[in-house]
Chain A
């Protein structure tokens, strides 16, 4: 029991980190809280399904194209919508939230609920870890998650565009001075954030079904991790994912499946009330700037 809690807690934590990292990245760079994030996740799953089952593409190609497609949708979201209301928080929130809702409900209308749609796993196999049986997809997911987060860190610290991202995040005025275009960066940040949501979708969804309902769940999970870790803090994402991930597995094991969501919701509330900047964030102090 303990060993399986350890293993499944870890897997759950990595899933959380994977789902949250895109939201965190977008917010960290462009200060856009993308409330359409969960919808993009579901969209990615659906796109992969269409490419795979309707167009009968190769498995990896289908997943790759789904990710690219969702990245483009994310970029379009900024280019055609958010750019008009930049700097008006009320409108930004309404636009992303309403677009996300529209997308999810549209997919639901087309029958994307319950267990009608699913993605096949990378490989159907079961491994033994510490004597606990774990299916191949979950193991692959842990590896992919870890690699992705490491790659992202390298990207923001060592590539030119990654450094520009960090410059914008730290001081928009100064970044503009040295010729970085904030709109360009924000478009890229939304594209990248959405792509990450899509990656999470195509590796996590084979564990269950592609359902519109998961849109709001994913949004809540991503927000929970980002808030607890401190928005825009990469280290925070990892620590918060571990905390919430294990808390979820424990509460599900001892109380029941509904508690997975309740834990995440409580994490958001408790953090915002007692430590709004999260475990690692500097956000609160920045906002105090008079």
Chain B
């Protein structure tokens, strides 16, 4: 007997974008589920990951989630491809170390300052390259982390190749764990919200057709700067956080891993959705950690996965989840 898979829209669903018909508990749950469940999941997760190793993987995942989110936001809001997420990470990481070691600021303060001031520094570095598009912009972002790393190496400032040690750690493990998770959640929701405002709509239009935006009397450089600033704030936070977590910063803060894995996460989760890259990080980073023993083969593994996905499944997990959410699938006989 031949069977065919059929997809139909769920009878319960959001009627329009902003107006919900909340008639029953099940509808309320259905409408609230996409935002409530992930939040609960993330906030409860640290309670159910007993081993130190698992906690570290969780934190690493959150850090990559931030970098992936940052990458995706740049792509959505400006249409630019960054091959240098490590720049943001590295600037935040070193800034936190300097603030802590030389000015004696406590971790919570350095985190705050590194996020906002670090983002300003990173934005200032990238700003001259903003008129560039496509491969040209990608090339400059590829260059920056390398340049900073080589300069530190050559001049032996900031600890040179040895890095800086003896940086203060967080007051306690709960702060350590929840800080980064809360930041991931907050940043994801805030950026999604932002893109839905008219300001965000202009940003998204720039990636569609920047010429038409300029012809609409809008200075796209301002919007790009805002986008890069926000994106680099996420990366700088991740870097500063990492510095305090490991009480160390070195040239690895500019490593290629930090630039590629976030892209892979974004592609796995679904480019352009913001939530997708975060989900992607939660799928990919633990996987990549499991095969850490393989050494550099790990990089081979996720680079190839990335290529396969870009070539064959570019829409990512997010579109799959969205379809599941909105539609029922069932087998019917023909």
Contact = CB atoms under 8 A, between A and B. Distances in A.
In the complex, is A directly touching B at CB under 8 Å? yes
A72 interface: no
Interface in A253-272: 255-256, 258-259, 261-262, 265-266, 268-269, 272
Nearest to A261: B150
A95 B143 contact: no
A265 B139 contact: no
Contact of A220 (B146, B256, B260, B300): B146
A91 B314 contact: yes
A32 to B, nearest CB: 9
B136 A272 contact: yes
A102 B304 contact: yes
B134 A98 contact: no
Q: Is the interface of B mostly helix, strand, loop or mixed?
A: helix
B299 A261 contact: no
A94 B267 contact: yes
B194 interface: no
B220 interface: no
Interface residues of A, number: 39
Interface in A70-90: 81, 84-85, 89-90
A257 to B, nearest CB: 8
Given A108-B296, A109-B296, A272-B132, A101 B256 contact: yes
A223 B139 CA distance: 8
Interface in B188-247: 211
A150 interface: no
B46 to A, nearest CB: 32
A33 interface: yes
Contact of A265 (B133, B147, B297): B147
Contact of A93 (B135, B256, B297, B314): B135
Contact of B147 (A84, A97, A266, A276): A266
Main secondary structure of the interface of A (DSSP, over half): helix
B154 interface: yes
A255 B81 contact: no
B131 interface: yes
A285 interface: no
Contacts of A265: 143, 146-147, 150
A35 to B, nearest CB: 8
A95 B81 CA distance: 12
B83 interface: yes
Contact of B303 (A33, A98, A258, A269): A98
B86 interface: no
A109 B297 contact: yes
Interface string B277-321: 000000000000000001111011001101100110010000000
Contacts of B256: 101, 216
Contacts of A256: 154
Interface in A93-111: 93-95, 97-99, 101-102, 105-106, 108-109
Nearest to B151: A262
Nearest to B312: A84
Nearest to A256: B154
A171 interface: no
A60 to B, nearest CB: 32
B153 interface: yes
B303 A105 contact: yes
Contact of B154 (A108, A259, A273): A259
B58 to A, nearest CB: 25
B303 A101 contact: yes
A106 B294 CA distance: 11
Interface string A4-30: 000000000000000000000000000
Contact of A105 (B75, B134, B140, B299): B299
A93 B129 contact: no
Contacts of A66: none
Interface in A195-220: 216, 220
B159 to A, nearest CB: 15
A93 B79 CA distance: 13
B66 interface: no
A273 B135 contact: no
A262 B129 contact: no
A81 B307 contact: yes
B138 interface: yes
Interface core residue of B129, B132, B144, B303 (most chain A CB under 10 Å): B303
Give the top 3 A-B pairs by smallest Cβ distance, nearest first.
Answer: A258-B154, A102-B303, A33-B135
Interface of B: 75, 81, 83, 128-129, 131-136, 138-140, 142-144, 146-147, 150-151, 153-154, 211, 256, 260, 263-264, 267, 271, 294-297, 299-300, 303-304, 306-307, 310-311, 314
25 contacts: A89-B81, A90-B81, A91-B314, A93-B138, A94-B310, A95-B307, A97-B83, A98-B260, A98-B303, A98-B306, A98-B307, A99-B304, A101-B299, A102-B300, A102-B303, A102-B307, A105-B296, A106-B296, A109-B295, A220-B142, A258-B150, A258-B154, A262-B147, A268-B139, A268-B140
